[in-house]
């Protein structure tokens, strides 16, 4: 039996978050052979793994969203025009009208057409021209045409990708990963699972609306493109998983059939965070805050720094440890470093990549100021270490702090609004000044993670899902 994990922009190239979840999942099924189909930006990232791959990972394949080789098939291609069925299918995906994905799958896989011939050919031109005249004639056509080529290049590269055969494809997002999952199911008749940690379409929509690299009407076209791809993933999947109830509601709103969706909360190995080293003698005078995150805009590190500066005016012995990589968005990280310097702010320590178990025991509480999250593993890890959490009201953070319906354990931290410097600063001050409250909240979090978010529980749920997707006639011993 073989399961192929399909991941976009994360495992095994990025540490933490979804990558950590994938690594944990693979390790949870040591008798199963896994392959990884990783979607990355281009060949410059190829092979630059940040994880020691588990022994049961038998291969890593790569698909590229941009590729210097995309014109190479031009010399080998004899096909210049689309058939009437292929034209209709190409038109359906561009116009967003009941996309005939199966015809497109065969076009790019069986006939191995040149992407250059498609994008620069008469058929693509005519369809884009029709779309332009119908919806967007107020802009310059040449700009519109080249933008459409840039939008469809990554999709066509994904459709052109040679992919391995597996019994189950497990896509850890919709989007381009979901397209590969739909393609695999079309080619091989395999089982298909789509697991969303954040709601991919909504996250891309937020990014595009804020982005400076895309303007005006093109924002709408990009957003529609991601919706089309996510709908393909939902329609093709046998099972779609979500981490919590509201995420399930969003998936249904975006077109997923309700009967396909199963709730699968995250789980961690809680024993890994038992008996962590505490504060050394030289740190006992400080109240220490830990932020385990990637230094990227979505984590809103600038608001974290500003809030810490305000809180430090009331609690001078505060320290902030920002624990995580600073090389994923080097420009943003530089801006964060400069902000600390300009504010002449003492007590902010950027550790870079670290083993969080070496630090969590030294913290008094942790904090997460993200503008988007799913069900953060960092909160669960803090709870396993007995530490309360300050978190913004995104994703499932509110339920992690206060409990899902039926969970009466109590409050395990303080919830704030996103980008609200005053609220976040006040929360820091409140926890810093209230040692008894910190201990009580930390104990609630500890009990919550042990009761609801253990790796064994997550493994059991996915064990059942894999069995269901493969079919009852198969031998399950390999999964036990």
Residues 281-297 have a mean pLDDT of 96
Residues 164-174 have a mean pLDDT of 96
Q: pLDDT value at position 276?
A: 95
pLDDT single digits (tens) 439-464: 999 999 999 999 999 999 999 999 99
Sign of the alpha-carbon dihedral angle for 390, 392, 397, 403: positive
pLDDT single digits (tens) 349-362: 999 999 999 999 99
Q: pLDDT value at position 467?
A: 93
Instruction: Give me the percent of the chain exceeding a pLDDT of 70.
Output: 95
Residues 260-284 have a mean pLDDT of 95
Residue 477: pLDDT band (50, 70, 90) is: low
The CATH architecture of the domain made up of 2-68+163-263 is 3-Layer(aba) Sandwich (3.40)
Out of 67-71, 94-98, 104-108, 373-377, which region has the weakest mean confidence (pLDDT)? 67-71
Alpha carbon distance 366, 428 (integer Å): 9
Residue 445: other Cβ atoms inside 10 A = 29
Alpha carbon distance 65, 447 (integer Å): 43
pLDDT at 303 over 90: yes
Report CA-CA distances (Å) from 112 to 109, 115, 191, 303, 329.
Answer: 5, 9, 25, 49, 35
pLDDT at 165 over 60: yes
Q: pLDDT value at position 300?
A: 96
Burial letters for 132-161: b for 16+ Cβ neighbours within 10 Å, e otherwise? Answer: beeebeeeeeeebbebbbebbbbbbbbbbb
For the chain, give the mean pLDDT. 93
pLDDT at 210 over 90: no
pLDDT single digits (tens) 394-403: 999 999 999 9
Burial letters for 17-51: b for 16+ Cβ neighbours within 10 Å, e otherwise? Answer: bbbbbbbbbbbbbeebbbbbbbbbeeeeeeeeeeb
Q: pLDDT value at position 74?
A: 47
* Intervals of CATH 3.40.50.2000 along the chain: 2-68+163-263, 270-453
Q: pLDDT value at position 81?
A: 86
pLDDT at 228 over 70: yes
Residues 62-68 have a mean pLDDT of 89
Residue 307: pLDDT band (50, 70, 90) is: very high
Q: pLDDT value at position 173?
A: 95
* pTM, entire model: 0.91
Residues 330-359 have a mean pLDDT of 96
Residue 15: pLDDT band (50, 70, 90) is: confident
pLDDT single digits (tens) 72-103: 544 455 556 899 999 999 999 999 888 999 99
Residues 336-346 have a mean pLDDT of 97
Q: Domain 270-453 sits in which CATH superfamily?
A: Glycogen Phosphorylase B; (3.40.50.2000)
């Amino acid at each position: 039996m073989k399961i192929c994990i399909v991941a976009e922009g994360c495992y095994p190239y990025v540490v933490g978050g979804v990558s950590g979840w994938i690594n944990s999942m693979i390790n949870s099924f040591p008798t199963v052979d896994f392959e990884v189909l990783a979607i990355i930006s281009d060949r410059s990232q190829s092979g630059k793994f940040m994880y020691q791959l588990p022994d049961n990972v038998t291969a890593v394949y790569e698909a590229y969203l941009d590729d210097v080789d995309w014109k190479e098939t031009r010399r080998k291609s004899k096909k210049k025009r689309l058939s009437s069925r292929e034209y209709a299918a190409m038109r359906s995906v561009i116009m967003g009208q009941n996309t005939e994905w199966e015809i497109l799958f065969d076009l790019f896989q069986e006939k191995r057409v040149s992407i250059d011939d498609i994008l620069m050919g008469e058929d693509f031109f005519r369809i884009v021209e029709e779309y332009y005249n119908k919806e967007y004639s107020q802009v310059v056509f040449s700009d519109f045409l080249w933008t459409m080529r840039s939008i469809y290049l990554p999709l066509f590269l994904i459709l052109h990708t040679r992919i391995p055969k597996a019994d189950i494809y497990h896509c850890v997002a919709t989007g381009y990963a979901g397209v590969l999952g739909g393609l695999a199911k079309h080619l091989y008749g395999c089982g298909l699972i789509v697991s969303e940690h954040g709601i991919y379409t909504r996250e891309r929509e937020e990014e595009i609306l804020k982005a400076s690299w895309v303007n005006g009407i093109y924002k709408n076209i990009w957003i529609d493109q991601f919706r089309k791809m996510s709908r393909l993933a939902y329609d093709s999947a046998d099972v779609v998983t979500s981490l919590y109830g509201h995420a399930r509601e969003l998936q249904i709103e975006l077109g997923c059939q309700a009967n396909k969706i199963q709730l699968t909360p995250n789980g961690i190995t809680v024993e890994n965070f038992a008996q962590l080293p505490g504060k050394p003698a030289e740190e006992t005078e400080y109240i220490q805050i830990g932020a385990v995150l990637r230094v990227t805009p979505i984590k809103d590190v600038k608001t974290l720094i500003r809030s810490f500066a305000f809180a430090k005016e009331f609690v001078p012995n505060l320290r902030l440890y920002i624990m995580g990589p600073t090389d994923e968005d080097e420009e943003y990280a530089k801006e964060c470093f400069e902000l600390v310097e300009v504010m002449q702010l003492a007590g902010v320590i950027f550790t870079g990549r670290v083993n969080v178990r070496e630090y969590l025991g030294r913290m008094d509480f942790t904090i997460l100021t993200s503008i988007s999250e799913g069900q953060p593993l960092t909160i669960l890890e803090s709870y396993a270490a007995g530490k309360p959490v300050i978190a913004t009201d995104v994703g499932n953070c509110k339920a992690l702090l206060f409990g899902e319906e039926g969970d009466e354990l109590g409050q395990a931290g303080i919830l704030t609004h996103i980008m609200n410097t005053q609220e976040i600063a006040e929360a820091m001050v409140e926890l810093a000044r209230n040692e008894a409250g910190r201990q009580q909240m930390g104990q609630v979090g500890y009990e919550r993670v042990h009761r609801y978010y253990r790796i064994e529980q997550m493994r059991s749920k996915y064990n059942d899902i894999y069995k269901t997707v493969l079919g009852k006639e198969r031998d399950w011993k390999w999964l036990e």
